[in-house]
Amino acid sequence: MPPAPAAPGPVGLGAPLDLAGPLDRGRRELVLRRGRVSVVVARRSVVAVTVLVVLTLVVAVLTLATGDFPVAPADVLRALTGRAEGRTATVVLGWRLPRVVLGVVLGAALGVAGAMFQSLSRNPLGSPDIIGFSNGAYAGAVLVLLSGGTGYLTVAAGAVGGGLVTALVVYLLAWRRGVQGFRLIVVGIGVSAVISSFTTWLVLQAEVRLAVAATVWGAGTLNGVGWDQVRPAAGLGAVLLLGVVAVSRGMHALELGDDAGAALGVGVERTRLAVVVVGVALTAVATALTGPIAFVALAAPQLARRVLRAPGTTLVGSAAMGAFLLVACDLVAQRAFAPQQLPVGVVTVSLGGAYLVWLLVHEARSR
């Protein structure tokens, strides 16, 4: 007799997914089967992620079409398909497209990093912005820049190092027979304040030229990026995606609690450490290239959870929401005060600050 199909596995980025198998259609869920493996996917999640992707593409086309040299949307599509030549191809493909692609890549990376830390802390305030990992990555990158380091990989190494050192300090200070989410956040806020003061001192002690460059870069900006910056960021992001897949199952299991996760065979502290390392690396990849872009990692997972009506953190939804938020904010940063272009971090801080106030009020009322 042929073996009976396995029970549906847990939904997550690490769950095996093969669309080639037969498809069971239910009212609210899709069951994707392939051999002995089956995955349950909520219909609303599929629809919501698809809508977010479409909205991101619409914003991307608007970004490519508008500016000092307007391009008709039809010409944008022709350029993207390789049928445009001359100035249109140069403007769309050479000048504007790298910025849009980098916005999508880094927005998705920040969204996933935020989802991982919120899952780890089981708290909507658990974000690399709040816990201090973003400031640690920024401090490491500034140290490299002020020491004369150049090149994306060199700065990225400094950012990763700074983020990991910060994560180690926060983790050790928050350790009390384990790490609790609320304690992690409180300790992270304190460490973040100390690191921010240290970074400010570094900038004040630097030469004027380097200090100005570090200050402008520290606002978080996509201005002036090209394909030379996009390629290494996309490559590192793809490598880290494998790390996300590897830790996603254990991460989702720990959302049920340490005891439940251990009963399911998950190494609790080992999984926590792996989530921290991968999440810090994702944050550092973005910080090393654009500076700290605040609040995307905080807002994207929570907005995705509300849109998808998911019971827990959703990595795919957070990635889609993060990409949409960053490219939309960058469009505002470029066009709202044209011809003056703002750093995208200014827009994300303005909108994210309002969202943080709402989140704090909502959390206080729910207790």
Span 62-70, average pLDDT? 91
User: What average pLDDT does this structure show over 130-151?
Assistant: 86
Provide long-range contacts, Cβ within 8 A and 24+ apart, for 64-69: 64/92, 64/96, 64/97, 64/100, 66/331, 66/334, 66/335, 67/91, 67/96, 67/334, 67/335, 67/338, 68/339
C-alpha closest to that of 66 among 359, 338, 344, 362: 338
Residues 32 and 21: beta-carbon distance below 8 Å = yes
Contacts of 211 (CB under 8 A, 6+ apart): 203, 204
pTM: 0.84
* Backbone phi and psi for residue 29, each to the nearest 5 degrees, phi listed first: -135, 150
CB 245 within 8 A of CB 203: no
Q: What is the dihedral of CA 350, 352, 358, 359, to 10 degrees?
A: -160
Compute the distance between CA of residue 251 and CA of residue 274 in angstroms, rounded to an integer: 9
- Whether 328 has a pLDDT exceeding 70, the answer reads yes
| Over residues 199-228, mean pLDDT | 86
Average pLDDT over residues 68-75: 89
At 344 the pLDDT is 93
**d(C-alpha 69, C-alpha 87), whole Å:** 9
Does residue 247 register a pLDDT over 70? yes
User: Residue 31: pLDDT band by 50, 70, 90 thresholds?
Assistant: low
pLDDT band at 4; cut points 50, 70, 90: very low
Could you report the per-residue pLDDT of 33-59, keeping only the tens digit for each? 666 655 666 778 888 999 999 999 999
pLDDT, position 43: 79
Distance of CA 178 to the CA centre of its chain: 26
- The confidence band for 5, taking pLDDT boundaries of 50, 70 and 90, is very low
| Mean model confidence pLDDT for the chain | 83
